[in-house]
Structure 1
């Protein structure tokens, strides 16, 4: 595809994503003008130690993002689960970390968040070398669908929120996929601002992805979970978890990759981890 056409297509998609109609902007402004509920503040303090590590301006921004997210998304309890404000706010707070410092778009394709009490079973098909297809069941903690749904295990969502420096966060992982899926199928390259940004992203992430695969093949220790080597889409989701949860190790061991995510997310978690070290542990 010619570069000019690619750039034009990117601009059209960006405009569709980042420029909501005037009525929606007005409604969101009204929601954000309302006081942040005291009960929700208590949930953040109790369930999300990461929130305390954020600088004050980002805390305020995050609260406004949470208000709109909770108002606009449908939360559905599965397998008999009753959805509570605690679930909505805990999920929204982690999901909205990925939206800080950017034109607010609130995951425009996402309509529903389906919440299971714990890990859930999904049917899967596998084919062997002879092409024989067998049906099986897989246990999942979360999924992100292009059709406008995210599925989460509540137990694992809580665990992810509570331990904010182990490099694993289910909600960040699935919502990184959702960002990747804004343009269609998840490929490991979310919407970027320019053709040059895509070229740089592709070079750095491809190099790092291949390096991870080589390290795993040689049995070497890696900062990123082995699941990241599955494909570029999973690589992007896993490194997003580590970017927010272990920025110090990430920046030290993978500086070029860290810079790509810092530019994409318009955030530098390294700066607030060291400003508020006690809050992050």
Structure 2
């Protein structure tokens, strides 16, 4: 009888303890959800009414590091990285590492995937999103690299580069990628062009989920279009300019890709020709870095 009473009392205490723990977990969960909601509200207000940028961009408990060869490639052959300060370079390497770790690189027609290809392609993508906190391009999980121009069965044509959202892939001619990367003042950069297509479409999808990076990009792009439309003859001036190639005016996606190519490669010339358009693109990418 005594043993049964003891067991009953012990069970009651255990149930009470479990109930307390359960209540505490509910309270903690509620506080976390409320905190996240409050942060999103404050950041949304900050982005819309104070500054078109996230409250913070970098927070990594355990930043990852590239291998020595990958790091050397950035230091020797990626000019944007070389302009960053030491802390920014550390963050940039972490993001490049993360991109390489989460994206499949596939060599086509017997081309070998090595550190150079992974590092330069990943760094191109990371450069475009370095102004954001949420830097993943959600519609890209594969990079297909051909040695040169490749044939597409979809449109029965040859391409230097292509973004396939259904296959979630960026497809590149390595010869043309390298050509665009090496010549940095002709406003022709295949890697930038194709990644902007992926970024643009990804952000149109993410906009529905209140993604802050998507909101900054799409709202700034909308503001750019509104500005161009509000200025008599500005679009015509841009079309007739020798600064932008005519392909930019094929459609909205090509316009976005081309103006960002120009912005990255020749920022000073962009500022001289179209200073207010330049400001909108800079805001769109939150690009507050040396040289821009």
Same fold flag (TM > 0.5): yes
Distance between the aligned counterparts of 1:105 and 1:61, measured in 2?
Answer: 12
The match for 2:272 is 252
Count of paired positions: 229
8 A contact 1:47–1:158 mirrored in 2:
no
The match for 2:83 is 53
The match for 1:74 is 104
Q: Which runs of 4+ in 1 moved over 4 A?
A: 194-199, 205-208, 210-216
Provide structure 2 residue ranges, at least 5 long, that are not aligned to the other structure.
Answer: 1-39, 45-58, 207-212
1:102 is the counterpart of 2:121: no
What secondary structure sits across from 2:138 in the alignment? coil
1:202 is the counterpart of 2:225: yes
Q: How does 1:1-281 map to 2 (within 5 A)?
A: 29=60, 33-123=63-153, 137-147=156-166, 148-182=168-202, 183-184=204-205, 191-193=214-216, 197=220, 199-206=222-229, 211-212=234-235, 216=239, 220-268=240-288, 272-273=290-291
8 A contact 1:212–1:222 mirrored in 2:
no
Scaled by the length of structure 2, what TM-score is found? 0.68
Q: CA RMSD in A?
A: 3.2
Deviation at 1:214, TM superposition (A): 6.2
Deviation at 1:69, TM superposition (A): 0.2
Distance between the aligned counterparts of 1:194 and 1:246, measured in 2?
Answer: 20
8 A contact 1:177–1:237 mirrored in 2:
yes
Using CA pairs below 8 Å that are at least 6 residues apart, which structure has the higher relative contact order?
Answer: 1
Residue 211 to residue 205, structure 1, CA distance change in 2 (3 Å) = closer
8 A contact 1:107–1:178 mirrored in 2:
yes
8 A contact 2:100–2:122 mirrored in 1:
yes
Distance between the aligned counterparts of 2:192 and 2:218, measured in 1?
Answer: 26
Scaled by the length of structure 1, what TM-score is found? 0.71
Residue 174 to residue 206, structure 1, CA distance change in 2 (3 Å) = farther
Provide structure 1 residue ranges, at least 5 long, that are not aligned to the other structure.
Answer: 1-10, 16-27, 126-136, 275-281
The answer to which structure has the higher helix fraction is 2
Distance between the aligned counterparts of 1:106 and 1:194, measured in 2?
Answer: 14
